[in-house]
Amino acid sequence: GAAEFIHGADERVLGHMGGGAAAIVSAVANGSWGGGSINYAGAYVATRYLHDKIKEAGGSGLKDLMQYMAEDTSRTLDQAIAATTNYAGKVTFMADFQANGANYITNNMDLTNADTGAIGGLDADGGGIVTAENVVDEQGHGYAEDPLESFNVTFAETYRNVASTRSMTFQVGAANGMTLDLEFGAIGVDALSLGNVDSSLFTGSIVGLADAAIEQVSAERAKYGALMNRLESTISTLQVEHENTSAARSRIVDVDYASETANLSANTIVRNAAQAMLAQANSQPNMVLSLLRPA
């Protein structure tokens, strides 16, 4: 409830008013917690109700209760309620809230104006109007650079579910080491953190999750496109090598052995005859010279 009270949850409460204010109160006052949107709506109303009761007791609101517990970590919520309100403890507060919470929603909460019901805003404390846009400061007004530095903010892991990544290795050549490594990231609803999305969440939260999921899917598609280009290039190279090898093999296999053997024999005879004729021609001058020599 305190987390909802920080940014205000009038919109959430208004969304469940169709079932009646009593149903919203019962969602938290009956002691059970279903974890649904109506439970968060009820917890927000209870926290805001407690905020008003602390101010009625002379305090400044929920801040007093938080500060009381922060000063001594051994203090319980029951002790904090007793110390900051006119209630004896948590049980008496919840009993009062269960009895009067529905009337509080109907008579004390304006769910239709621009204010979100956030702490310090118009509805809760008579301050300025806090809308869904300005509830988190985006401009410089002397505040810290990070307006959420005092909060524990948890962002959902979207596609960065590295544990779901799979890799494959392809042999793309004849030699050892001529491989191509491919990695495939998971893009299912669980890996994109969309498996447990509550449709009753604020529209901005759902859009943020959807944008993050689309961004990851686009990144995976780009990666797959690059991998496909590499595979197509490798396939093209292998096809050229295959065609060259097939052509060379065809020239060897398709040779007529008998014909080539006959041609080789004929060429050998011609070559030998030519050599014999050349040797005889070279011997003629020697014979003439031998006749001219004196006896």
Higher pLDDT, 114 or 185: 114
Name the pLDDT band for 267 (thresholds 50, 70, 90). Answer: confident
pLDDT at residue 78 tops 80? yes
Q: Contact, 34 vs 114, CB < 8 A?
A: no
pLDDT value, residue 116? 83
3-state secondary structure labels for all residues of 245-283? HHHHHHHHHCCCHHHHHHHHHHHHHHHHHHHHHHHHHHH
> Tokens at residue 279, please?
């040797």
Q: How many CB atoms lie within 10 A of CB 87?
A: 20
Backbone angles phi, psi at 186, to 5 degrees: -75, 135
Q: How many CB atoms lie within 10 A of CB 200?
A: 15
Residue 47: is it exposed, middle or buried by C-beta count within 10 angstroms (0-12/13-18/19+)?
buried
| Average pLDDT over all residues of the chain | 78
pLDDT value, residue 157? 47
- Find the Cα–Cα–Cα–Cα dihedral 116, 126, 38, 101, rounded to 10°: -160
Q: Contact, 168 vs 159, CB < 8 A?
A: no
Higher pLDDT, 257 or 25: 25
CB contact set of 254 (below 8 Å; sequence gap of 6+): none
Name the pLDDT band for 203 (thresholds 50, 70, 90). Answer: low
pLDDT value, residue 151? 59
The amino acid at residue 46 is A
Which residue is listed with tokens 């999921």? 213
Q: Contact, 47 vs 39, CB < 8 A?
A: no
Q: pLDDT tens-digit profile of 117-147?
A: 888 888 888 888 877 766 665 555 554 555 5
Q: Contact, 59 vs 30, CB < 8 A?
A: no
- The DSSP H or E segment spanning 204 is helix 203-253
Q: Which of 7-11, 181-185, 267-271 has the highest mean pLDDT?
A: 267-271
| Helix axis angle, 62-71 to 77-84, nearest 10° | 130
Q: pLDDT tens-digit profile of 145-192?
A: 555 555 565 554 444 444 456 777 877 777 777 777 777 777 777 766
